[in-house]
Structure 1
Amino acid sequence: MLLLLFLTFSCKATDGEQKGNAVAAKPNIVFILADDLGYGDIAPYGQTKIQTPHLTAMAGQGRRYTQFYAGSTVCAPSRAALMTGQHTGHTYIRGNGEVPMRATDTSLAKLLQQNGYTTGMVGKWGLGLQGTTGIPERQGWDFFTGHLHHLEGHRQQGDSLWRLANGESTRMPVPQGSFLNDIFTQEALSFIQNQRQNPFFLYVSYTLPHADLKVQDKYMQPYLTEEGESIFAPETAQPDGSWYRPQPYPKAAYAGMVTAIDDYVGQIMRKLEEQGLAENTLVIFASDNGTHLEGGRKLADALEVHQSSGTLRGVKRDLYEGGIRVPFIAYWKGQIKPGTTSNHIGAFWDILPTFAVLAEADTPAGIDGLSFRPDLLSQDGQEQHEALYWEFGEGGFKQAVRKGDWKAIRFYRKGKPERTELYRLDKDPGEKNDLVAEDPAKVEELEQLMDRMRSPSEHPLFRIQ
C-alpha cells in the first residue's frame, strides 16, 4: 500500500512538473513601442549624432530587421494594425480620430489573455476612451497605466494618468510635473517584478520622441556645450503660447528624447536579467511610424540635421518609406542568434499571428498577418506575403502597396485616383526614381492589387474622399 501511494504521488508530481514546464515553455513577451521614432534615429540604423548605447547592445545581441513596416503612418491606425492583425485596407480604425476598437474586433491582448498570459500595458493606448468598447479593460488588459486619448500623449509632463484598478480605468493623480515616461518605465519594471506564476505579455507604449520637445536635463546634457548651448546650433526656438511648450533648443531636445527612450529600454533589459527572465522572454523594440515635424521641429531638422529617416524618403504622414518603414529589433537570449540582420519583409499585422504561435494559441481567422517565427529564430520555412498594403486619408486619400521589390503609391483628388508613382526598392530605397512612365504594365498590376487588397471602410471618417 505504501509503495502504491508513493508511485501514485510520484506520477502526480511528474504530471504537475510536465504541466509546469509546458506553461514555462510559452515565452514571456515584451513589446516596446516608440512614438514617431524615425528609421534612422538610432545607431543600429546608421545614426551618428544621437547616443543610443542600449539599443545598439540589443541589436548586437539580437536580430535587426531592415525591411519591417509600421501599421500606418500615424499612431492610431498603426496601433490598430498591431492589435488586430489587419492592415488598413481591412481594419476598422484607419486613421486618427476618437474611434474605439469594437467588442467584436480581434484583440492581441484578449488572445494572449485567453491563452494563459497575464497582460499588462503602460503608456499610450489611443484605441478607446472611457465608456467605450475600446477601453483597455474591455480589450484584454489585466493591468494598465497610461493615456487613453492620443492627445494626452503630446505632453511629456503631467499631473495625472489613467490606471486600471478593480476592473475599471479611472484617472489618478501623479506628482505634479512628473515626466510621464519615467512613470511608465517604473510601472513596467514593477509589472515584471511581480510576475511569478503565468507567462506575461507587457506592451510598453512610450510617448517619446513625439511632440512636446521637453526632456530631463540628464538626457539633454549630452547635446549641450559647456556654455549650455545646443551642439546643433543654430537653433530656432519653439515659442510660448502655442499648443506645444516653449523649447529654446528643439534639435537638442529631440536628440535627448531619443536617448531617454534608449535608457528606458536599458532599464527593462536589466530588470529581465535580474529576475532571471531573459532566457524565456522575447523583447521587441519598434516605432509606430516615421519621424515627426511637431513641437518646433522642422523638416530640415529631421532630414538634414538628425537624418531621422536615414536614406529613406519622407516622414510621418507620408506613405513613402520614411513614413512607414521603422526600426525593428528582436532579442531573446539563447533563442535568437545574436548580431544577425534580417531583410524579411514584414509589418505590424504580423505581430498577432507570431505571438499566437509562440503562445500555442490558434491564429484567428480574418487577419492579414503571417507569423514570422521561423525568420525570428533563423529557421527554414518562412512564409512570405504576396504584398503589403497601406491607406491613409489625411491631406487627401492615398494608398501604397509593396509587392516584392516593387512599390506603388496612388494619390487621390476629390475621391478619384489622380496619379500613381512606381519605385523599385531594391535598387532605389530612397524612392528617387519614379518608374511610372517606364513600366505601365507594372503600374496597372499594382493598382489592381490595391483595389483587391482593400474593402470599403465601415466608418465614414475613413472613407475615400
Structure 2
Amino acid sequence: MSAVMTLALMPGVTRGEAAERPNIVLMMCDDMGWGDTGFNGNAIIQTPELDALAREGTVLDHFYSVGPVCSPTRAAFLTGRHYFRMGVWSANQGHLPEQEFTLARMLKSNGYMTGHFGKWHLGTLSRTISAKGKRRRPDLHYAPPWERDYDASFVTESAVCTWDPGIGRRARNNPYYENGVPTDENVLGCDSRVLMDRAVPFIEQAVAREQPFLSVIWFHAPHEDIQAGPEYLARYEGHGEAAHYYGCITAVDDQIGRLRRKLDQLGVADNTLLFFCSDNGPEGQTPKDRSKTRRAGSAGDFSGRKRSVLDGGVRVPALVHWAGKVPAGVRLDVPLSVMDLLPTVAAITGTEPLPNRWLDGENVLPIWKGEQSKRQKAIPFRYGEFACLVRGTHKLIIESASDTSHDRLFDLSNDVTESNNLADQHPGLVGSMRKELLEFLESAKSSHAGEDYDGDHTKPVERWRSLSKAESSSLQSHTNFVR
C-alpha cells in the first residue's frame, strides 16, 4: 500500500491538549437503503459489525440524508448547510465552494489531522478531465479535498465499480487520487478494502503523533456498478444476482470491523466517536424476485427510493457510537440529519463554527445523549420540482411557491408510507410550515448568490433554480435557519 504523507502537529497545540479531544470517524455508504442492515431488521444481509455498533451505541431511527442523491448529501454532510446554498443541485452538479466552512477546516484549525477516503463527488479532481464530462466541467468545478483542508486524501471524483475500482468503464477519467496524484497502486479487488488500506495508515500516523484526527470514510458500495468478490458471493449462494448487492454491504461491514480492531489495538477506541449513515435511499425498483437484479436494496416500509423526497429516498440507516458518552442499545425516533454533524462535532470538540454563517443543522449532542427529546429546527429538503419540510412528526411537500393545490402533509408517526394527505384537515399547520419552507428557500437563494461569504464577491457558477416562476422574492425572515 502507499505511504500517507507526513504530517506535523498544528502550531500552538500540545500533545496533552490533543489527547483530550475525541477522534472523529464519519462513515457513509452509497445508495444503501434504510432496510439494508441487520440492526434495521434485514434477515438476509450479514452486517455483524454494524449490528454490534448499534447494540453498543445509539441507532438514529429517523435520520435524513437530506439529499435524495449523492452530491447534495455530501455537501450538507461536510458543511451543516443545505446543498442549495452552494448550488449543488443534484448528483454530478456544482461543487463545494472554497469559501465554505467545513468539518475539515473547523477541526484542522483546532489541531486535528484531517483525512478523506473513498468517494468525493463534490467537484472535479482535475482542471482538465472529469468522469462526467459536460455534466461537470473541470474548468468550472475543480474542488479537490486536498484544497479543502484535508491533510491526506485517497479519493475518486465519482462512483467506481465495487470490485476492481481501478479499471473498467467507471474508472475512465475517474482514477483514485492519493494526496492529489492519480495512482494505480493497490486499486484492484474489493473497493472497500482498497480505501480502508489508506484510512488505517492515516489513523496510525495520527495516533503515533498523538494528534486527534478526523477521518471521513465514504464507501462506494453498494452504488452501481455492483460487483462482489468471490468470498462474498460464496456467502450468498442461492441468491442469484442479488448476491452481489448483499456481498458488497457485507464487505463494507468487514472493513468497519477491521477499523474497530485497529482502533482498539492502538488504544484509542474509547476516545473515538464513530458515526455511520447512507447518502440516500436504494437505487431503482426491485422486482418481486430479488434474485434477478443487483438493485436489491430495501427502503424498509417507506415509500420511494433514490431520487425521491419521500422517506424511502431520504431516510437512511444511521448510528452513532461513543463509548461512555452516547447510550448503548438505544433507538432514537427524533428527526435528525447530516446537516447536524458540523454543529454537533463543533460542540463535542469545543470548536466554534463561523459567526454569522447560515447553518441549517443544529447541535444534537443532547439528543444523542438522551438529555433532550426534541430538535429546535425543522429539516428542509429540495429536489427537482419538490420542496419539503419535516417539523416534528409532520412532513410537508410542495411543488409551487404560490399554488397550494398540490401540497401534501403527512403525519410520519402513523403514516410511514406517506399515503394519507392531511393538508385539507390542517390548513393552519400547512400555512405555517409552508411559510417557513419558503423563507428557507429565500435564505438559500441569498447564500447561493454569495451573500454569506463576507468580503467575497465570487459569483455563482450557475443560476439559481427556482421552485416555480412565482417563487417569492420578498420574504426576508430567515431566523429559523440561523445558528
Selected match of 1:112 from 107, 116, 129: 107
What is the CA deviation profile of residues 326-351 of structure 1, one whole-angstrom value per residue up to 9, with x for unaligned ones? 11111112322221222222111110
Q: Does 1:162 align with 2:185?
A: no
Q: How does 1:63-462 map to 2 (within 5 A)?
A: 63-129=58-124, 130-131=126-127, 134-148=143-157, 150-152=158-160, 157-159=165-167, 161-165=175-179, 169-175=180-186, 177-195=188-206, 196=208, 197-224=210-237, 230-231=238-239, 249-293=240-284, 298=287, 301=290, 308-364=298-354, 365-378=357-370, 380=371, 384-393=375-384, 397-411=385-399, 419-455=406-442, 456=445, 457-458=448-449, 459-460=462-463, 462=465
Residue pair 2:162, 2:191 contacting (<8 A) in 1 also: no
Structure 1 distance, partners of 2:374, 2:55, is: 26
Residue pair 2:159, 2:224 contacting (<8 A) in 1 also: no
So what's the TM-score if we normalise by structure 1? 0.82
Change (3 A) 1:329 1:91: same
5+ residue gaps, structure 1: 1-17, 225-229, 232-248
Change (3 A) 1:30 1:176: closer
TM-superposed deviation, 1:163: 3.0
Change (3 A) 1:178 1:256: closer
Residue pair 2:367, 2:374 contacting (<8 A) in 1 also: no
TM-superposed deviation, 1:176: 6.9
Structure 1 distance, partners of 2:336, 2:186, is: 41
TM-superposed deviation, 1:175: 4.9
Structure 2 distance, partners of 1:300, 1:311, is: 18
Residue pair 2:325, 2:369 contacting (<8 A) in 1 also: yes
Structure 1 distance, partners of 2:55, 2:437, is: 37
Structure 1 distance, partners of 2:60, 2:316, is: 9
The count of corresponding residues between Structure 1 and Structure 2 is: 414
Structure 2 distance, partners of 1:320, 1:351, is: 22
Structure 2 distance, partners of 1:156, 1:269, is: 24
Q: How does 1:10-49 map to 2 (within 5 A)?
A: 20-49=15-44
Structure 1 distance, partners of 2:57, 2:326, is: 6
Structure 1 distance, partners of 2:164, 2:399, is: 35
What is the CA deviation profile of residues 191-237 of structure 1, one whole-angstrom value per residue up to 9, with x for unaligned ones? 2222222100001100011111211111111211xxxxx33xxxxxx
Structure 2 distance, partners of 1:437, 1:386, is: 24
Residue pair 2:68, 2:313 contacting (<8 A) in 1 also: yes
TM-superposed deviation, 1:421: 1.5
Structure 1 distance, partners of 2:366, 2:344, is: 9
RMSD, aligned CA: 2.7
Residue pair 1:62, 1:329 contacting (<8 A) in 2 also: yes
Change (3 A) 1:113 1:382: farther
Secondary structure of 2:201's aligned partner? helix
Change (3 A) 1:366 1:155: farther
What is the CA deviation profile of residues 362-421 of structure 1, one whole-angstrom value per residue up to 9, with x for unaligned ones? 12232111111122233x35772331100012xxx11111111111112359x9776121
TM-superposed deviation, 1:306: 5.7
Structure 2 distance, partners of 1:147, 1:154, is: 12
Specify the code of the residue in structure 1 equivalent to 2:247: G
Change (3 A) 1:422 1:213: same
Residue pair 2:163, 2:188 contacting (<8 A) in 1 also: no
Secondary structure of 1:203's aligned partner? strand
Residue pair 2:161, 2:227 contacting (<8 A) in 1 also: no
What is the CA deviation profile of residues 284-335 of structure 1, one whole-angstrom value per residue up to 9, with x for unaligned ones? 11111111128xx658749x99671111111111111111111111111232
- How many percent of aligned residue pairs carry the same amino acid? 27
What is the CA deviation profile of residues 73-96 of structure 1, one whole-angstrom value per residue up to 9, with x for unaligned ones? 000000000111112453432322
What is the CA deviation profile of residues 109-133 of structure 1, one whole-angstrom value per residue up to 9, with x for unaligned ones? 1111111110011100011212355
Residue pair 1:62, 1:339 contacting (<8 A) in 2 also: yes
Residue pair 2:65, 2:338 contacting (<8 A) in 1 also: yes
Which residue in the other structure is 1:15 paired with?
Answer: none
Identify the range of structure 1 (307-316 vs 205-214) with the bigger mean alpha-carbon deviation. 307-316
Change (3 A) 1:271 1:154: closer
Change (3 A) 1:429 1:56: same
TM-superposed deviation, 1:264: 1.3
Specify the code of the residue in structure 2 equivalent to 1:158: G
Change (3 A) 1:386 1:157: closer
Structure 2 distance, partners of 1:175, 1:307, is: 29
TM-superposed deviation, 1:280: 0.6
So what's the TM-score if we normalise by structure 2? 0.79
